[in-house]
Structure 1
């Protein structure tokens, strides 16, 4: 599978996760989000950018439980909870948000 952005083909695995995370850009994220049925808002970008920073620091995409705790610590309990994150990413904040962020599938995600 591949995404087409600005005439460039960006390779992804069969589930839509990028093969090379360095191919990511915001335009591609918008395309992936659209494929996922997610309309990106500033709140979505906040989570996507948080995930990218987390990955840059720890070299791992966090599982939902870890993601929820980390977001609560940085952005407060209003955003660091399952209800809020699932409203933004209904197919799973870990898996769906990581895909949009151009990160590998989080460990423990099916």
Structure 2
């Protein structure tokens, strides 16, 4: 029983550590990253997200630092009123996730 308890405790700690490693990037830091060419401009990233669903509109977006990698997360609503979650690598613009919001 102790082994099982220890296993659950370890799993809980690992999950909470993963959450702590993903953080929102503040606006002043975004400007610095764009100016340093560390990430694409937010306009370029939004355009890349919209290109996955032409005609969609952006309902929300945020830049996160996940394990030292900048991920631009965009929520879209298409012409059929379907919501989409699109994640992009903020440095390259590569689409990492394109999934219908459930």
Normalised by the size of structure 1, how large is the TM-score? 0.28
Which has the larger strand fraction? 2
Which has the larger helix fraction? 1
Larger RCO, structures 1/2 (Cα 8 Å, 6+ apart): 1
Normalised by the size of structure 2, how large is the TM-score? 0.30
